[in-house]
Structure 1
Amino acid sequence: MAQRARSVRRHARLAVAFVLAALLACPCTMAASTCTGRFPNPITDICWSCIMPISLGGLSLASIGGQEDIPNPGSPLCSCGVNPTVGLSIGFWEPVRHVEVVRRSFCLVSLGGVDLNPGIAAPDAGRSVDAGGDQNSFYQAHFYANPVLYWLNVVADFPCLEKGSFDLAYLTEVDPLWNDDELTLILNPEATLFANPVAQAACAADCVAATTGFPRPELFWCAGCQGAIHPLDGHVPYHLGGVRTAELLAQRLTAKLHRELLAWGRHGAPGLCGPYFLPVMDKRAYKSQLTYPIPATAKEAGRCCQPLGRSTVLWGAGKEYPVRGEDFGFMLFRKGNCCVGY
């Protein structure tokens, strides 16, 4: 009897090991059975101190908690138009865009979990393990126009705010480039130049720069500590956690929209007189704040929003949990400089 019991236990262990090996070796879906989410509460889910610092020319006027900033035009005076109107050069960070990274196609988690599927075939998110043992992943992503300051009427008659309403601007499910590494080369053919160990090793410097301040704009093919911007699609060959992967895909989608001229620049001297084409995204012009599943309103080192590419080890810890906590939403604060005429 003892020998038979040992034999049964041995076969049970072998069966469990076989099942685990099969699960790790083959692709597995992460599609949620239901679509859940939450509309970000503008009072409790948005870190309003990220608007700071407000600058006049090169001088910082207001900053709470040592908020980080990029260089502003040096002169406090500016002029715009054919018949120049002299004004003041103002700079601030405007919460104006929202990105969500989701497992289920057409699931709008930032609208409370609305299933928008019109019957179009689109791949759900999934993970797999390649021959080398590395875990790969794929997610869909959505881009919203969300000029919170304008539609809340926080500041009345301020000409520098982007005017508009909350709007779903982009769905990757209807974009054939988002699911194809080769087809997306139409948008970023330069990716072939950086698909080598030397170019990727340079991203370590971008990670250091993003962790201590802002990422390096000249390393435009890097996404800081999250890896590589290219390819501009939803495939991630090194999945090391949901928050990290979602932050990377938020960067990729924003860079993709810049390349498609759907997102423009508003910062620096060129931005004083209005938006301008910026086909290569300036990574320094954005800060991100996690709003879903757990809003990152607790301040890490005095701040609750982070420059693109900053390591998620600190601010992303504990922000992911099974089932309902594996989709992610980010508020994007965009740097803007504006010439306020008088």
Structure 2
Amino acid sequence: MKKILIIIFLLSANSAFALCAGPMLDPITRVRWNCFLPISIGGIPIGTSGNPLADMADRSMGTQSPVCLCMDPLPRIGITLGYREPIRIIESVKDPFCFPTLGFGMSSSAWGSGVKGRNSKPAKDFTNTHMFIFLPFTMMEIFTDLICMQTDSKYTGVLGGLSIAYMSEFDITKRSDQAALLLTPEVVLFANPLAIMACQIPDSIASLAEYTIPPLYWCAGNHSVFPTSNNTMSMSNFTEASEVNASKLIFSMHRTLQLWGSFGAQGLCSYYPMPIWNKMQYRLQTAMPVPDNFCRRLGQPSIVWNRFLNPPGAPNNDNMVFILWRKRDCCAF
């Protein structure tokens, strides 16, 4: 994947940048570091994110035990540690091969025009999605002296830093609803009004209280993640469609075991396979074009959080960047 990105960069050196103009992602000013809080040490919460409902939800899903025991391979006793960490950058862009995180992109004449979000007014809003591995705590060596933080390289194959992990331009399952059935054959069970209504009412209302309903795994708030292609039904604003496609990518990464479970008693000693995602594990924060002030639950209605985050005329308008925050519980030693 790194070789592919290098080729794209070299080819784009002589092409117009009008489609994807703007500064690179600044992790200092555009990442809301208050999303890291509250941290829990030995079951005692410390600090606040500024969102009381979100803090309460995090405390309810974390382990309450002050001590823990892991076999690694010998018995290891430690104290429980819980927090949220940024782990991925997700781009949802209307222009193919646009990388707002890196501050460059290719002209559509080189690769063929993509489906435009707002101008062409299609029946469906299509965006391409990219995922970057983003481990700033590892880059800054925060908590890396704790054994529980050293398992990232073991279970994700990542030593730290920033690297591109996924591009939908090369994934047929993101362009074709039929191809997406290969990953999610159960979609035929949820293509009915009752399943859709379950998303629009219970899961959407729960997200307003900073909760989700894990058994409704086909839902992302108001919307369904099925089909998992990036062909999202046309919505009132492009920002909301982009967030739905970001949620679909997270779902797909769990289905293919590229993202694992990391919270609760089961996650104290190691990550664990989670082919069916638990939405409570994650929060999203808009970083570009305009950064949001808070992290939010997946599927939260856009009327709550979409406060001029994608203004017309802004650099990289309609090319969205989200920071993915993960709930992490571990046995610190």
TM over 0.5: yes
Check conservation: 1:37, 1:110, Cα contact below 8 A.
no
1:153 and 2:141 matched: yes
Kindly provide the amino acid, as one letter, of the partner of residue 301 in structure 2: S
Question: Within 1, Cα distance between the matches of 2:171 and 2:324?
Answer: 22
TM-score, normalized by length of structure 2?
A: 0.83
Residue 124 of structure 1 deviates from its aligned partner by: 4.1
- Larger mean Cα displacement after TM superposition, 331-340 or 75-84: 75-84
Which of 272, 289, 293 is the equivalent residue of 1:293? 289
1:219 and 2:219 matched: no
Change (3 A) 1:278 1:230: same
Change (3 A) 1:322 1:112: same
Change (3 A) 1:129 1:195: farther
Kindly provide the amino acid, as one letter, of the partner of residue 295 in structure 2: C
SS of 2:302's equivalent in the other structure is: coil
Residue 156 of structure 1 deviates from its aligned partner by: 5.2
Check conservation: 1:49, 1:64, Cα contact below 8 A.
yes
* CA offset digits 1:166-224 (Å, max 9, x no partner): 01000000001111101111101111101000111111100000011211111101110
Match of 2:27 in 1: 42
Which of 101, 105, 109 is the equivalent residue of 1:110? 101
RMSD: 2.2
Question: Within 1, Cα distance between the matches of 2:147 and 2:97?
Answer: 35
Question: Within 2, Cα distance between the matches of 1:147 and 1:253?
Answer: 18
Within a 5 Å distance, the mapping from 1:12-161 to structure 2 comes to: 33-65=18-50, 66=52, 67-68=54-55, 69=58, 70-80=60-70, 81-115=72-106, 123-126=114-117, 135-155=123-143, 157-161=145-149
Match of 1:309 in 2: 299
Match of 1:202 in 2: 198
Change (3 A) 1:53 1:196: same
Change (3 A) 1:154 1:36: farther
1:340 and 2:328 matched: no
Which of 295, 308, 311 is the equivalent residue of 1:318? 308
Check conservation: 1:38, 1:292, Cα contact below 8 A.
no
Residue 58 of structure 1 deviates from its aligned partner by: 3.7
Question: Within 2, Cα distance between the matches of 1:261 and 1:116?
Answer: 33
Within a 5 Å distance, the mapping from 1:208-287 to structure 2 comes to: 208-225=205-222, 227-287=223-283
Check conservation: 2:131, 2:165, Cα contact below 8 A.
yes
Change (3 A) 1:37 1:143: farther
Change (3 A) 1:64 1:176: closer
Greater Rg over alpha carbons, structure:
1
- How many residues align? The count is 299
Question: Within 2, Cα distance between the matches of 1:334 and 1:152?
Answer: 18
Check conservation: 1:144, 1:169, Cα contact below 8 A.
yes
Give ranges in structure 1 of 5+ residues lacking alignment.
Answer: 1-31, 298-303
- Larger mean Cα displacement after TM superposition, 69-78 or 33-42: 33-42
Question: Within 1, Cα distance between the matches of 2:240 and 2:111?
Answer: 29
Change (3 A) 1:116 1:217: farther
Check conservation: 1:147, 1:166, Cα contact below 8 A.
yes
Residue 159 of structure 1 deviates from its aligned partner by: 3.6
Give ranges in structure 2 of 5+ residues lacking alignment.
Answer: 1-16, 153-158
Question: Within 1, Cα distance between the matches of 2:190 and 2:219?
Answer: 9
Kindly provide the amino acid, as one letter, of the partner of residue 127 in structure 2: Y
Check conservation: 1:122, 1:174, Cα contact below 8 A.
no
Residue 33 of structure 1 deviates from its aligned partner by: 4.8
Check conservation: 1:160, 1:338, Cα contact below 8 A.
yes
Change (3 A) 1:38 1:273: farther
- Larger mean Cα displacement after TM superposition, 146-155 or 103-112: 146-155
Match of 2:155 in 1: none
TM-score, normalized by length of structure 1?
A: 0.81
